Amino acid sequence: MSLEAQAAVQAEPSGSHDEPHNDIVYPDAIPFALVHLIALGVFWTGFTTTSIVLCISLYAVRMWALTAGFHRYFSHRSYRTSRAFQFVLAFMGQMCAQRGVLWWAAIHRHHHLHSDTPLDVHSPRLTGFFFSHVGWIFSRQKATADYSTIQDFMKYPELRFLNRHAYFPAVLLAVGCYLLDGWPGLFVGFFLSTVILYHGTFSINSVAHVVGNQRYVTADDSKNNWWLALITLGEGWHNNHHHYQSSARQGFFWWEVDISYYVLRALSSVGLVWDLRAPPAAAITGESSLGRKVVEQAALEIAGSFPADKLASDLRAVWGQRPGLDEMRSRWQLTKDDAAAELQRRREEVLAHFREMHLPELPSLDEIRERIAERYMDCPCLDEIAERAREIILESVFVCLGPEPSLELD
Domain boundary among 256, 285, 314: 285
Domain with 327 in it: 292-401
Q: Are residues 96 and 229 in the same domain?
A: yes
Write the pLDDT tens digit of every residue in 93-145: 999 999 999 999 999 999 998 888 888 888 998 889 999 999 898 888 888 88
Task: Classify residue 122: in a domain, yes or no.
Answer: yes
Number of domains forming the structure of the chain:
2
With vertex at residue 306, the alpha carbon angle to CA 318 and CA 242, rounded to the nearest 5 degrees, is 165
Task: Classify residue 20: in a domain, yes or no.
Answer: no
Mean pLDDT of 21-48: 86
Mention every residue, 6+ apart, whose C-beta is less than 8 A from residue 264. Answer: 68, 72, 79, 248, 273, 276
Contact 363, 393 (CB under 8 A): yes
Q: Are residues 265 and 315 in the same domain?
A: no
Write the pLDDT tens digit of every residue in 258-292: 999 999 999 999 999 999 999 998 888 877 777 77
Task: Classify residue 384: in a domain, yes or no.
Answer: yes
Q: Are residues 303 and 391 in the same domain?
A: yes
Q: What is the mean pLDDT of the chain?
A: 83
Q: How many CB atoms lie within 10 A of CB 166?
A: 17
Name the percent of the chain in helix, strand, coil, to the closest 5.
Answer: 65, 5, 35
Nearest to 169 by CA among 98, 73, 85: 98
Cα separation of 119 and 107, whole Å? 12
Domain boundary among 253, 285, 317: 285
DSSP string, 161-228: HHHHTTTHHHHHHHHHHHHHHHHHIIIIIIIIHHHHHHHHHHHHHTGGGTSSBB-S--SS---B-HHH
Task: Classify residue 74: in a domain, yes or no.
Answer: yes
Q: Are residues 55 and 156 in the same domain?
A: yes
Cα separation of 271 and 311, whole Å? 61
Q: Are residues 141 and 277 in the same domain?
A: yes
Q: Considering only 8-12, 125-129, 331-335, 349-353, which range has the smallest mean pLDDT? A: 8-12
Q: Are residues 250 and 268 in the same domain?
A: yes
Domain boundary among 285, 305, 332: 285
Mention every residue, 6+ apart, whose C-beta is less than 8 A from residue 205. Answer: 111, 122, 132, 133, 136
Contact 354, 322 (CB under 8 A): no
